Structure 1
Amino acid sequence: MALLGHPAPGLYIGLMSGTSMDGVDAVLADIGAGGGTVKVLRHGHAPFSPALRAELMALNQAGDNELHRAALAANGLALAYAERVDALLADLPRAQVQAIGAHGQTVRHRPGEFDGHGYTLQLLNGALLAERCGIPVVCDFRSRDVAAGGQGAPLVPAFHAALFARAGQAAAVLNLGGIANLTLLGAQGAVTGFDCGPANALLDGWCERHTGHAYDDGGRWAASGRVDEALLARWLQEPFFHRAPPKSTGRDLFDPGWLDREVPAGLKPEDVQATLAELTVRPIVADLQRHAPAARQLWVCGGGAFNQHLMQRLSALLPGVRVAPTSEAGIDVMQVEAAAFAWLAQAFMEQRPGNLQEVTGALEPRVLGAWHPAG
């Protein structure tokens, strides 16, 4: 294992479970010194067990005996992560892996609120994961940025810049997970980014509620409906959409309760789905046009990249911008976020800052993560 604070190229594992709550993505990546090169060698995905998913969803809201339940859920997530590590390393010595970068499961995200500091909470028993895997673990990436006055999110723009930035070319990277977030890559090297609003969190929730399916396959159900423009206009008055960056959001705002409060009775479910899809797309389009009008390339990753309805609507509303999945740039849409946390683990090993002040609003760059050495 490399010494902290020294160049630490080599193999890293990234583990991600996002606000879509659809399961765990895991990658094994070969990362060069300074994070300048990233090659994904292996990738795996596994859905959560129904019981773990239900408990993680429930813990997004206040409930009885939360401390006990959250601790057990953190254990359960560590074990689910460990199974993905086992699958990645079935025929490889674990000693070859420098570290695991593990995101954990966000269940609350309230930066800057309540006492002027706020908090962000990603459930994960990192010590248990290190014991179970026999590999050092870096986790809890977001808390230090929040402590430094930042939003704690998004953290992927620095990684996006390492992979997708091209000198002289303005571009953007869009992650369509539970929440949509944009990274803006300026032609002269500037990097900014922020959360735009809901994506799969609301789309999947409404689809599961009315069809029994976990997600709208290809966006076909949304495409079958009609957008209610009056309802959409009301939804777009949500103050979050009009806040200036830096900004971030999550299921604290766009949760199943939002659907209960904001969807009027009597509408056809497929029309609501079509309107929710448009609620995903239009803030993205407005933000891209407002903050990066020179961008002519939009790379899309996350599960929403498989939603052809969303992809078509983005293309239709962004004439002159090429909208394409990141797989066309050399990295599968389902690998990007997990690879980002492998990259952030390597940054921790080298004691390089992982946040960008321009993105999160933190007072200064900070090394991100908490360290759990291998047994």
Structure 2
Amino acid sequence: MNDASKANSAQVTSPPLQYAIGLLSSVTGDAVEAAIIETDGRDEIRSIGGVRLPCPETLHWGLLEATQNDMPSTEIFRLEQELTRHYVLAVEQLRACWGDEVAKATVIGLDGHTLRRLPQEGISFQIGNPWLLAELTGLPVVTDFRRYDMAIGGQGAPLEAMYHWALMAREPRPALMLNLGPVTSLTWLSRDNNIIAGDVGPGFELLDEWVQEVAEAPHDYDGRVSKAGTVDQASVKYALESPFFSRPLPRTPTRSDFETIDVSGLSPTDGAATICAIIAESVLSAIEQLPERPTLAWVTGAGSRHPLIIERLSTAFDEVRNVSQRNLNPDTLHAESFGWLAVRYQRGLPVSTPETTGCRVAACAGMCTSRGPWS
């Protein structure tokens, strides 16, 4: 049994179920997401619901500026205060939709907004004030998962892999879940419950930036921009020559890993189509590293309904299914994962393993604003 299997090994008695809220912000800072689940912190999970709350323009552009450029520390602290209060509004919106369940929540898992991430140097800097969030919501907040994982040799990502594993606990093996989010990641489970996970390539952050800046469209979730374009195969080939794509899993990228992705000379539609092809081909390249290819691939994340990407992925599997077919929300599943991780933290269970982030040992990473009932 590997470290990941030990992390979810059977318990003597079944622990009680617990309501938990997960919070995060989009990579581009245009919205925050909140979701609530009921779980035992292992593989008993009930997905209840989630919301996406757009950020005011001032907050959105402030987060974008802080992500791309150096800012005075005072401005960053003010930005963090504004973001934290927006998280509180997302919790209130969640309460308006699922009041009975939110009233029973006992913990919040906060991912925060990442301003800097340099996994090779063990650096991750996120904002989101857990103490203010705890004060305004009345709930303990578990956060800072990534920095502890890096401190024990991990890359700080993909943290959602353990949650995907739990969701696939009863799936026929080998099992696979693809997260077509800001970065594309996969989680693979063997017949013996071994896990392989990692980020495999660019995701919808890159496509969003392109269509917003060049095509003047808010997004391309439905493929409206990219379907009108033609893939530039030379650009796809050049992009996949980055050493990142040949590195073994687990792995996670920095922006410099994708410097070979250059569609600047293409039209808005051709550029979008080419980015979609790069996303899909990076997945197929990673699949070749797996010991056994599953017949079924589950997909989640913002890109899980994108027609061009799903069409290309469908050539590699007998079936490609959206997690919505399991009554899961692909748009808020990532936020759910941090509620689940918060419960695991409170119960002293590992939130990352060598197979998911490359850390030295499966560990209960993070910090909490107060001791939980199972601490």
TM over 0.5: yes
User: Equivalent residue for 2:89?
Assistant: 83
Aligned partners of 1:275 and 1:31: how far apart in 2?
40
1:128 aligns with 2:132: yes
User: Equivalent residue for 1:324?
Assistant: 321
User: Equivalent residue for 1:312?
Assistant: 311
Unaligned residue ranges in structure 1 (runs of 5+): 1-5
Equivalent position to 1:138, from 124, 137, 142: 142
1:74 aligns with 2:80: yes
Q: How many residue pairs get matched?
A: 356
SS of 1:109's partner is strand
SS of 2:363's partner is coil
User: Equivalent residue for 2:262?
Assistant: 262
2:226–2:270 contact (8 Å) kept in structure 1: yes
Deviates more, 1:80-89 or 1:273-282: 80-89
SS of 1:291's partner is coil
SS of 2:303's partner is helix
SS of 1:278's partner is helix
Cα deviation 1:81-138 (Å, max 9, x = unaligned): 111111222444876321001111112111232xxxx211221111111111111111
2:123–2:150 contact (8 Å) kept in structure 1: yes
* Aligned ranges 1:263-278 → 2 under 5 Å: 263-265=263-265, 267-278=266-277
2:215–2:268 contact (8 Å) kept in structure 1: no
1:109–1:252 contact (8 Å) kept in structure 2: no
TM-score (norm 1): 0.89
User: Equivalent residue for 1:58?
Assistant: 65
Deviates more, 1:172-181 or 1:14-23: 14-23
Q: Which amino acid aligns with 1:61?
A: Q
Q: CA deviation at 1:264?
A: 4.3
Q: Relative to structure 1, is the Cα distance of residues 93 and 322 closer, same or farther in structure 2, using a 3 angstrom cutoff?
A: closer
Q: Which amino acid aligns with 1:44?
A: V
Equivalent position to 2:215, from 200, 211, 220: 211
User: Equivalent residue for 1:3?
Assistant: none
Cα deviation 1:1-40 (Å, max 9, x = unaligned): xxxxx956321111122435441221121112x4231112
Q: Which amino acid aligns with 2:263?
A: V
Aligned partners of 1:94 and 1:247: how far apart in 2?
35
Percent of aligned positions with the same letter in both sequences? 31
Q: CA deviation at 1:358?
A: 1.1
SS of 2:279's partner is helix
1:109 aligns with 2:111: no
User: Equivalent residue for 2:237?
Assistant: 233
Cα deviation 1:142-179 (Å, max 9, x = unaligned): 11110000111001121111111336521211111111
User: Equivalent residue for 1:9?
Assistant: 17
Aligned partners of 1:93 and 1:307: how far apart in 2?
32
User: Equivalent residue for 2:5?
Assistant: none
1:19–1:177 contact (8 Å) kept in structure 2: no
SS of 1:112's partner is helix
2:55–2:86 contact (8 Å) kept in structure 1: yes
SS of 1:294's partner is coil
Q: Relative to structure 1, is the Cα distance of residues 77 and 206 closer, same or farther in structure 2, using a 3 angstrom cutoff?
A: same
Aligned partners of 2:133 and 2:340: how far apart in 1?
18
1:176–1:305 contact (8 Å) kept in structure 2: yes
Q: Which amino acid aligns with 2:307?
A: Q
2:155–2:358 contact (8 Å) kept in structure 1: yes
User: Equivalent residue for 1:151?
Assistant: 155
Deviates more, 1:178-187 or 1:162-171: 162-171
* Aligned ranges 1:159-174 → 2 under 5 Å: 159-166=163-170, 168-174=172-178
1:23–1:46 contact (8 Å) kept in structure 2: yes
Aligned partners of 1:41 and 1:55: how far apart in 2?
32
Q: CA deviation at 1:183?
A: 0.6
Unaligned residue ranges in structure 2 (runs of 5+): 1-13
User: Equivalent residue for 1:342?
Assistant: 339
